[in-house]
Structure 1
Amino acid sequence: MAYRLGAQSRAELKGVHPDLVRVVERAIVNTAQDFSVHDGLRTLEEQKRYVASGASQTLNSKHRAQADGYGHAVDLVPFINGKMRWEWEPIYVIAAAVWQAARELGVPVRWGGAWIDLADIKIGTPGAMKAAVEAYGAARRKAGKKVFTDGPHFELVR
């Protein structure tokens, strides 16, 4: 089944860098898991609220307008039974679709599930995405560092 971006998702893409918009538009057509664009460009006030709630770690987010005037990040959340759901198994499917889209379009994208450039993942399957998240978490714990995974988050690598 081919999915399409709804009006709300399209509205969230306003102000997002055109390269990242192209990746999202390709991913929604290729994915086996429907998703919504939960967040694109954010204001400083919105970002402050995300940091205060612990949903974000920095005010210097790629969701905020960058030097070129565009936001360089989106959050893609699984859409299941008419609702957005933050669940890992469907997030892995979305990440695999973004991996494929980024590769097809030649757009470098970093994924917040494992905080790596998707080009560093050799096979774009949900299983490979899950393995990347597990490897990231294990490496952070081994180094005595905090693990912060943001599975729905995708950003341009610049």
Structure 2
Amino acid sequence: MSLDARSRARLKGVHPRLAAVTERAAEITPVGFIVTEGLRTRARQAALVKAGASRTLNSRHLTGHAIDVAAVVDGKVRWDWPLYPRIADAFRRAAAEQGTALIWGGDWPRLRDGPHFELDRKAFP
């Protein structure tokens, strides 16, 4: 598999290391995915907080250090939780291959966010 043109366009402004991990993850994932969002404006982030879709105005999306994806099965976007750990495994493998420190939102103890991947702040402040 590979990323479609729309997903690649959504990687514009995203840190090159995260974009590279995303490209590689798309090649090796057992579950297809699209990139739904990368770099965000402050206005977009504020709107997401207001709508309850985010809890922070200090998102890694604001600096291009985070992306969100959506699973695609049989041409349809799916949000079923069991799909996202499988996608995360591909991201982890890609990140390990490239030596990129990556955080998956699905590993967070509170407010797990399966579609979210970001560069580790310790390595990419």
Pairing 1:88–2:81 present = yes
Q: Which has the higher contact order (CA 8 A, sep 6+)?
A: 2
Percent sequence identity over matched residues?
Answer: 50
Aligned match of 1:149:
112
Segments of 5+ residues of structure 1 without an aligned counterpart are 66-70, 116-135, 137-146
Cα offset, 1:36, TM superposition: 0.3
| CA distances 1:98-131 after superposition (whole Å, capped 9, x unpaired) | 010111100000111113xxxxxxxxxxxxxxxx
Q: What aligned pairs does 1:44-59 form with structure 2 within 5 A after superposition?
A: 44-59=42-57
TM-score, reference length from structure 2? 0.92
Cα offset, 1:10, TM superposition: 0.5
Distance in 2 between residues matched to 1:98 and 1:152, nearest whole Å:
11
Distance in 1 between residues matched to 2:8 and 2:46, nearest whole Å:
24
How many correspondences in the alignment? Answer: 121
Aligned match of 2:17:
19
Bigger Cα Rg: 1
Distance in 2 between residues matched to 1:149 and 1:112, nearest whole Å:
6
Distance in 2 between residues matched to 1:9 and 1:15, nearest whole Å:
12
Aligned match of 2:59:
61
Q: Which structure carries more strand by proportion? A: 2
Aligned match of 2:30:
32
Segments of 5+ residues of structure 2 without an aligned counterpart are none
Q: Output the amino acid matched with 2:120.
A: V
Distance in 2 between residues matched to 1:12 and 1:85, nearest whole Å:
19
Aligned match of 1:143:
none
TM-score, reference length from structure 1? 0.74
